Amino acid sequence: TYVAKLVRNSRTGAMERKAFVTNTLAALSYDSWKMFDREVLQVVRERLRAVADVRAAGLTMNLPNGMAHTLLQYQTQGDITGATVSMNPARRSETDRPETDIAQLPLPLVHKDFDLDSRELMASQLGNMPLDTNGARLAARKVAEELENMLIGTVVPFKHAGNYVYGYRTLPTRYTKTDMPTPDGTNGPTVIAAILALRQGLLDDNHTGPFVFYVNRQWSQFLDTDFSSLKGNITLRQRI
């Protein structure tokens, strides 16, 4: 909150209006806000698996005053032709320049509202009854799940001003492999061969990794079985 106040300019002696930053008036006490923050952070840490991987890899951008921006504009660039091999240093090679274009990425907000009625707040301020943080916990969980869904691509891409926020499964230029086998506890070598072929396809597309391999829960019982009866007690998960 900004509060305007008249103060005297020490250099000119004139009275000038100056804005001071103050804490916003709130219905909750300082400790109550801390309790809500703990609940929200706990849920976020539990739920954001794929998003946490992106953050851990450093693939984030801190945008100053992000609330004031609805689009992130960036430049794309193509390649140029190869170099010339000759015996004459005076020979001119083919002149070329990369083609560039402007692209935009929407910057949406992911949010879920919850509220407390005045009686709950009054009872909490008297110290007779702790605040029910279940609403904050559920709201944070819904936000975390939506972020996960947007990143993985299990929801329709968000669209704004003709631009989309794509996920792993919705990016038009993604690499796909449609013949991946499903583990059944007996086909470990087949699954490994398919994963290696998938990785090779990414390498051929100049995606050099490191790679993260996500699977659904139905795979768990087969990932933790023996990879092969001929290769000791190592599991398929460990082999991957």
Convert the pLDDT of each residue in 22-78 to its tens digit: 445 555 555 555 555 666 666 555 567 888 888 888 888 888 888 888 898 888 888
Rounded to an integer, what distance in angstroms lies between the CA atom of residue 165 and that of residue 109?
Answer: 12
Listed residue (199, 226, 221, 201) closest to 210, CA to CA: 199
Rounded to an integer, what distance in angstroms lies between the CA atom of residue 74 and that of residue 72?
Answer: 7
Q: What is the pLDDT of residue 221?
A: 83
Q: Helix, strand, or coil here: 39?
A: helix
Q: Please provide the average confidence, as pLDDT, over all residues in the chain.
A: 79
207-226 burial, b for 16+ CB within 10 Å, e for fewer? eeeeeeeeeeeeeeebbeeb
Query: In Å, how far are 48, 122, 162, 167, 210 from 174, measured between CA atoms?
Result: 22, 53, 20, 10, 16
Hey, what amino acid is at 187? N
**95: its two tokens:** 């002149």
Percent of the chain scoring above 90 in pLDDT:
17
More confident residue, 21 or 149: 149
